[in-house]
Amino acid sequence: MKIAVLPGDGIGPEIVAQAVSVLNALDEKFEMETAPVGGAGYEAAGHPLPEATLKLAQEADAVLFGAVGDWKYDTLERALRPEQAILGLRKNLKLFANLRPAILYPELAGASTLKPEVVSGLDILIIRELTGDIYFGQPRGVRTCPDGPFQGEREGFDTMRYAETEIRRIAHVAFQTAQKRGGRLTSVDKANVLETFQFWKDIVIDVHREYPDVALEHMYVDNAAMQLVRAPKKFDVIVTGNMFGDILSDAAAMLTGSIGMLPSASLDANNKGLYEPSHGSAPDIAGKGIANPLATILSAAMMLRYSLNKAEQADRIEAAVKKVLAAGLRTPDIYEPGTTKVGTAEMGQAVVAAL
Amino acid sequence: MKIAVLPGDGIGPEIVAQAVSVLNALDEKFEMETAPVGGAGYEAAGHPLPEATLKLAQEADAVLFGAVGDWKYDTLERALRPEQAILGLRKNLKLFANLRPAILYPELAGASTLKPEVVSGLDILIIRELTGDIYFGQPRGVRTCPDGPFQGEREGFDTMRYAETEIRRIAHVAFQTAQKRGGRLTSVDKANVLETFQFWKDIVIDVHREYPDVALEHMYVDNAAMQLVRAPKKFDVIVTGNMFGDILSDAAAMLTGSIGMLPSASLDANNKGLYEPSHGSAPDIAGKGIANPLATILSAAMMLRYSLNKAEQADRIEAAVKKVLAAGLRTPDIYEPGTTKVGTAEMGQAVVAAL
Ligand SMILES: CC(C)[C@H](C(=O)O)[C@@H](O)C(=O)O
Ligand SMILES: CC(C)[C@H](C(=O)O)[C@@H](O)C(=O)O
């Protein structure tokens, strides 16, 4: 089995290196091939997603991704900016199902900005549709406003859209995931305003008929943003579109106060996937050896479970991470007095030792 | 000067009645005329925004609005549902600037789900554009997918759009408001993905040249959702589009834990405005006399300040509200042991007495 390793920019290479060490320490051996992506892709081949990188990702059984982006690419035209790599990979690999757990490790309860009683034991999963919605809808651009009160002047515009098949397949993923968890699913929409999401809601209700054992509720996105702050533990699985999912999954991750701990998976219809930490490339601390590699290591565990069918190895990695946390090791982002501050490599090697 | 009073549904009539008592207790007298809206409009005239109600709102100098919505209208077709009244009023009265303060009263610090040190002293203002974006963009609907991988099947779709004039005028409101406050403005966009918001960002940068004394920063909406949870006090004024503003302003309000305290203003180009509490119609507690009328009373104060040019009277009301809080009066939503629990009318009358 082959893993495409795309470290990217900023802290990407440092944290991915630790995840690779952990994978190499398993009994099972994997073929891994590395390629540049994001700003590194632009430097190497003039494009954030070089052709050879895309080809490698397409041929591999799974992709381990670091992070992309750096201020120094801010002035490039949008098509060449690092984040286009991640959009291009999602679209080309048809990675329509993004799984973003927001879990608060008991040892890190203090890191949250929320009161302990509101977040302790938090364990929710946001399932974000990842290849549709206003992210890719056509037409889009800047044009002369065709009618209405601003006719004749310039306007920026985009198209939000979801086809029936796109909603059905993410709904199936969501219901099946809810079945394996607490049996509760919240579908987040804005059906009171958007045609796209009235349609979304109608289809989700229809798919629900195949999953009578799952309790389904519908919630408007503005209310969902409030409930995540008010009582996040009331959620089990949340499913929503690409745009709302972008916003809510980041808010949910931040509730834990330890986004450096949160992995993510982006899956296609055959469980091939791209795995990456939920945090960004953090160029301000790149190269300092202080970034938290655990989200990436836990992403590698998700990869073993979902794409490579090695659930036992995934369990081993997750248990090892819990062990190092219990032993009090902390990178600076999750450090608290009374624990032991360690760097990126030290943390990665501690996980290897705990395997 | 004439005020259109639209109590609406659920707790709307109870809380508006208290705000009207407060207005009547001022030296200045205002002409007030009441009309049904939302579900009440549907009951009275078969439409959530009856023609006579719209006409009254158009002729008045300001609109005092309660809240709309009740589960019993959930099965109506969308065009007849209560919330269409609020969309119709915004559009017809051209109320493009929505001002939503998120303020944490020191006496209510404990009500927040966030740690006191994260939110104590919170005082941010979200300025949401209210008549453009994907809320009103055409075309929209359900159609046969015209091309791409889902060609031929049904799809829901909407159009996001902002014309140059729409962005310029809300940017001017935002910069001028920031000048009167802390001098800092955060423009929230998704310029890395959406053409509409790359255009938005370009125009905001252009308008900024007229306000060199305001410090402008740009933030992606997903990051803004995170920063509101992580360090909300770092914000001063936030300006954003209709859709992002819907989500972020509700999240920000919930940070305070006391959404029953938060007013809002929706203004047109001449400072005519609609004023309403940030919370909803809460049909579950309607008629019980326990709803918190303070957000509506504070909305009336905003009305005096922004639309009726009576800043002194506004100050008086706000001071009276602070007094009743300091005296320990609390409706159930903000009650804590050691304070005095009161009902809707008792709270309203306490404000009148404190004037
Ligand atoms: C970088 C950006 C295009 C991307 C998105 O909006 O999807 C990011 O925010 C994410 O959530 O992975
Ligand atoms: C009721 C709904 C249409 C409305 C909106 O989305 O604008 C509400 O959520 C609000 O924020 O006033």
Best of A94, A159, A188 to disrupt the B interface by mutation (most B CBs within 10 Å)? A159
Give the β-pairing of B31-34 and B2-8.
Answer: parallel
Asked if A12 contacts A86 with a C-beta cutoff of 8 angstroms, the reply is: no
Indicate yes or no: CB of A157 within 8 angstroms of CB of B137.
yes
Interval B107-152: pLDDT, tens: 998 899 999 999 999 999 999 999 999 999 999 999 999 988 999 9
Best of A114, A144, A161 to disrupt the B interface by mutation (most B CBs within 10 Å)? A161
Backbone angles phi, psi at A142, to 5 degrees: -120, 130
Interval B273-286: pLDDT, tens: 999 999 999 999 99
Quickly state the pLDDT bin for B74 (edges 50, 70, 90).
confident
Which one from A9, A42, A133, A135 is the annotated catalytic residue?
A135
Rounded Cα distance, B324 and B20, in Å:
18
Residue B141 labelled as part of a binding site: no
Rounded Cα distance, A23 and A313, in Å:
9
Domain B1-96+263-355 shares a fold with domain B123-255: yes
Judge whether residue B342 has pLDDT over 90: yes
Residue located nearest, by CA, to atom 6 of ligand 1:
A246
Quickly state the pLDDT bin for A74 (edges 50, 70, 90).
confident
**Distance of CA A55 to CAs A52, A58, A336, Å?**
5, 5, 43
The pTM is what? 0.97
CATH class label, A1-96+263-355: alpha beta
Interval A195-233: pLDDT, tens: 999 999 999 999 999 999 999 999 999 999 999 999 999
Indicate yes or no: CB of A226 within 8 angstroms of CB of B250.
yes
Whether residue A86 has its Cβ less than 6 Å from ligand 1: yes
Which one from A123, A158, A246, A268 is the annotated catalytic residue?
A246
Pick the atom of ligand 2 nearest to B249's CA.
Answer: 11
Q: Annotated catalytic, A190?
A: yes
Tokens representing A194 are 């958007």
Coil vs helix vs strand at B30: coil
Residue B90 labelled as part of a binding site: yes
Interval A252-308: pLDDT, tens: 999 999 999 999 999 999 999 999 999 999 999 999 999 999 999 999 999 999 999
Interval A139-186: pLDDT, tens: 999 999 998 899 999 999 999 999 999 999 999 999 999 999 999 999
- CB proximity list for A312: less than 8 A, separation 6 or greater: none
Whether residue B268 has its Cβ less than 6 Å from ligand 2: no
Residue A283 labelled as part of a binding site: yes
Cβ neighbour number for residue B105 with a 10 Å cutoff: 17
Q: Annotated catalytic, B91?
A: no
Whether residue B155 has its Cβ less than 6 Å from ligand 1: no
CATH class label, B123-255: alpha beta
Asked if B259 contacts B230 with a C-beta cutoff of 8 angstroms, the reply is: no
Residue B289 labelled as part of a binding site: yes
| Neighbour-count burial of A262, counting CB atoms closer than 10 A to its CB (0-12 exposed, 13-18 middle, 19+ buried) | buried
Amino acid identity for residue A90 in this structure: R
Where are any strands of DSSP class E within A201-351? 215-220, 237-240, 263-267, 273-277, 329-330, 340-341
Contacts of B109 in chain A (CB under 8 A): none
Q: What percent of chain A has pLDDT over 70?
A: 100
With the most atoms of ligand 1 within 8 angstroms of its CB, the residue from A73, A240, A246 to mutate is: A246
Nearest to B255 among A161, A164, A229 (CB): A229
Tokens representing B201 are 């960002």
B183: left (phi over 0), alpha (psi -120 to 50) or beta: left
Nearest ligand, CA A279? 1
Q: Enumerate the domain spans of chain B.
A: 1-96+263-355, 123-255
Whether residue B195 has its Cβ less than 6 Å from ligand 1: no
Nearest to A247 among B141, B158, B221 (CB): B221
Asked if B120 contacts B110 with a C-beta cutoff of 8 angstroms, the reply is: no
Residue A192 labelled as part of a binding site: no
What would the mean pLDDT of A48-68 be, rounded to a whole number? 98
Asked if B174 contacts B203 with a C-beta cutoff of 8 angstroms, the reply is: no
Residue of A nearest to B157 (CA): A161
The DSSP annotation for A229-272 comes to HH-GGG-SEEEE-HHHHHHHHHHHHHHTT-GGG-EEEEE-TTS-
With the most atoms of ligand 2 within 8 angstroms of its CB, the residue from B68, B74, B87 to mutate is: B87
Helices and strands (H, E) in chain A, number of each type: 12, 14
pLDDT score, position A322: 97
Give the β-pairing of B263-267 and B97-103.
Answer: antiparallel
Which one from B55, B72, B206, B222 is the annotated catalytic residue?
B222
Which one from B42, B73, B135, B162 is the annotated catalytic residue?
B135
Q: Annotated catalytic, A250?
A: yes
User: Average pLDDT, whole number, for chain B?
Assistant: 97
User: Average pLDDT, whole number, for chain A?
Assistant: 97
Nearest ligand, CA A86? 1
Q: CA A49, A54, A56, A61 torsion: positive or negative? A: positive
